[in-house]
Amino acid sequence: MVTSFFGTASFGGDAVYVERLAEALMKRGHEVHVIHSAGAFRCVRGLHKDRLYKPPPGLFVHTIASDMRGVAAAIWSHQTGRMGPSRSAAAKVLSEVPFDVVHLHNGSLLGHTHIFDAIPSGHRPVKLVTAHDYWWICPQSLLWKNRRWVCDTPTCWTCLARSGRPPQLWRDRDHASRALAHADAVIFPSRSALETHVARGVRHPRMIVLPCFLPDDWTAHALDAPPSRRPYFAAVGRLIVEKNFQEIVPLMRDLPSHDLLIAGSGPLAPSLRKLAMNLRNVKFLGQISSEKVAGLLRGARALLVPSLFPETFGYVAAEAMALGTPVIARRLGALPELVSAAGAGILYDSPDELRAHMHALAAGESNRGPREQQTLASPPWSENAHLEQYMQLIEPLR
């Protein structure tokens, strides 16, 4: 597994998938190595705290320098699209073990598929790429244009300038297809993500939709004690503008009988706290463990997912629905797919719709009293089904 962010030096999302995939493969007898760049995380972390993560025994984790050399290497990769100073460290790992599979996840600050160039010429592993976000078609990864709306037509130069991001001179219209040509297969976590990449001109002979999964024992680790004695809504994620928690905080003025519990950290935290200054029913939990996230979701009236950009999957929404907790999500990106797959959840298009759904759910819950949780008997994102499809993809390529 090769990825820019992993373990404590990550923001979640793609790193969570790598962690879960690595552990699932190890449970089935495979040897798994992870190459990641702590310098990449240090370069862009801002106010984000280290994630809580402890690698399972037997997982080989290779961390590229976390000092200023690692930061410089990450900047080099961002500006050139190549590995540069990170190449020798990655090549050393790839030369020591004759890997059967090299799977690239988030290569944004690690040199894209040039990681495959570091594989010794005598080795012929299966080469996979998973597009966890929109990095291949968007220099900001989220398709969030001018820091204001979902990108409809690419105008990357002006968008980068207005967003305060450095330009990437190596990008052109066909760079993604040329880079991905080095991979044997390209994986997308949703049909929405695949269709968006295709619409932006990405082409590859083997493009596969393989949704992320939840570990078999994930719900068993959910803490039973609810984090609040009052009924509450939950929001979980990185505190950034694009996650749009600033939209849901003011809505709590009209719901004094319910709390809003927000879990996560990020650069928007000070602004959100200021926005909630006079709202005693809005509480910030900070960065919490996966077990506490599960407990938070299990006790919630609903999980709110108001993302402004098109999510490529939506892990926290899948986790909530697997625990039997309703999800109220914006009708955008992969979220409608998740709601449809689970046969549960509520979609909305405007803040007024969101407010109406929250009030309706709050009124229904308060009339019934504490609800009994019912986890999905057969969640659509099962570990066994995912690993079976994963190996079915790999075996013919070997």
Tens digits of per-residue pLDDT, 185-234? 999 999 999 999 999 999 999 999 999 999 988 777 676 666 778 999 99
Query: In the CATH scheme, what is the homologous superfamily, with its name and number, of domain 219-368?
Result: Glycogen Phosphorylase B; (3.40.50.2000)
pLDDT in tens, 338-378: 999 988 899 999 999 999 999 999 988 533 333 334 444 35
Q: What is the pLDDT of residue 371?
A: 38
Q: What is the pLDDT of residue 377?
A: 39
Average pLDDT of the residues of the chain: 89
Q: What is the pLDDT of residue 51?
A: 82
Q: Which tokens belong to 19? A: 């962690």
Assigned fold of 2-213+382-397? Rossmann fold (3.40.50)
Question: Which residues of the chain form CATH 3.40.50.2000?
Answer: 2-213+382-397, 219-368
Question: Residues in the chain with pLDDT < 50?
Answer: 366-377
Cα–Cα dist 216/7, whole Å: 20
